[in-house]
Amino acid sequence: MGHRPVTLFTGQWADLPLEKLAAMAGRDGWGYDGLELACWGDHFDVQRALADESYCRGRRDLLAKHGLSCWAISNHLVGQAVCDPIDSRHQSIVPVRVWGDGDPEGVRRRAAEEMTATAHAAAKLGVKVVNGFTGSSIWHKLYFFPPTSAAEIDVGYADFAHRWNPILDEFDKAGVRFALEVHPTEIAYDIHTTRRAIEAVGGRRAFGFNFDPSHLLWQGVDPVKFIDAFGDRIYHAHMKDVARSLDGESSILGSHLAFGDHRRGWDFRSPGRGEVDFEGIVRALNRVGYAGPMSVEWEDSAMAREHGASEAGAFVRSVDFTPAGGAFDAAFAETGR
């Protein structure tokens, strides 16, 4: 048995009321230890948490009824709008109050206010980590044509720091940390850009990472190297799998094909059914002393999600293990005395 709690991220289940999902995921269902609550659907309402003194206790009680706890909440969708060039796609992911009249700078400002509110809502719920996205004003410039100067990229990192430092100030006040899920379309999407993002905010501890191997591996980034590089900033971990199926026709860029299309060059898989080396990841997490949740983010377009969630929880438990307390050969040394 592993030593870390195994949780389920509720983002892919936001169409279900939390009451129903908790019953499915808890002690009498799939046997998870907790839920990582998404700040959309009816799972966790940031504004209600701040306005209604009984709301957070109600969420905790609902989870506890099914033997579940909560160690982190996630607000990826609003976070995406803080730095992004805003277009019609964002309207479908942010709350009406954040979208407002759709003026891009207004959307970014209101998204930043909502992320600040999320930090204080997390504190009320009693969790220390908010997972999410940052967005990026320069992601679309990842291929340097038309010719893109270093100065233009510098401006993108400066924009990130300008928009996120005030948010991170509020995280510090709330005693909560922000964990960016390093991911395409964010200010950090691989190891080099992650180092640059840390530098942009002056190395402050409020800014760390929600480690998710699935977004690294298909790009060619070794998830274990990520853990080794940023171990002291891994504030949360997603257990998610991915598989590449490059066949000479498909591209690593996705070919403008939808997730689930068998012609794609890569796609997400249920944990244990893709290419991610979870054994190496568990050993690396043990090496850096990560003791937080192993949170299943379940996405597999070809599989029924109820089957997937049940199978994934059992898989993650099976691969996790408690690190050794000392050198394995110490016992032999004792006998020689």
The CATH number of residue 161's host domain is 3.20.20.150
Q: Which is more confidently placed, 272 or 326?
A: 272
Q: Which residues pair with 241 in a beta bridge?
A: 269
From the centroid of its chain, how far is CA 153?
24
pLDDT at residue 3 in the model: 82
Provide the mean pLDDT of the chain. 96
Round to whole Å and give the CA distance between 163 and 127. 24
Contact 282, 320 (CB under 8 A): yes
Taking the model in full, what pTM does it have?
0.96
Confidence category of residue 331, pLDDT binned at 50, 70, 90: low
pLDDT band at 335 (very low <50, low <70, confident <90, very high): low
Q: Residue 103's Cα: distance from chain center in Å?
A: 28
| pLDDT of 325 | 81
Average pLDDT over residues 130-150: 97
pLDDT for the residue numbered 135: 98
What is the tens place of the pLDDT at every residue in 26-85? 999 999 999 999 999 999 999 999 999 999 999 999 999 999 999 999 999 999 999 999
pLDDT for residue 224 is more than 60? yes
- What local confidence, expressed as pLDDT, does residue 336 receive? 54
Q: Which pLDDT does position 327 carry in this prediction?
A: 67
Q: Could you tell me if residue 163 is inside a domain?
A: yes
Is residue 260 one of the residues assigned to a domain? yes
> Residue 1 pLDDT > 60, yes or no?
no
pLDDT at 226 over 80: yes
In tens, the pLDDT along 263-288 reads: 999 999 999 999 999 999 999 999 99
| Residue 333 confidence (pLDDT) above 70 | no
Q: Given pLDDT bands bounded at 50, 70 and 90, which one contains residue 324?
A: confident
pLDDT tens digits for range 200-214:
999 999 999 999 999
| 281: its two tokens | 């990841």
For residue 1, tell me if it sits in a domain: no
Span 137-159, mean pLDDT? 97
CB atoms within 10 A of CB 322: 10
* Phi, psi (degrees; rounded to nearest 5) at 262: -65, -15
Give the Cα separation of 218 and 236 in Å (integer). Answer: 21
Give the domain extent around 43: 6-335
Domain count, the chain: 1
Is the pLDDT score of 248 beyond 90?
Answer: yes
- Please state the rounded mean pLDDT for residues 148-168: 98
Q: Contact, 138 vs 156, CB < 8 A?
A: yes
Task: Give the model's pLDDT for residue 208.
Answer: 98
Residue 192 lies in a domain: yes
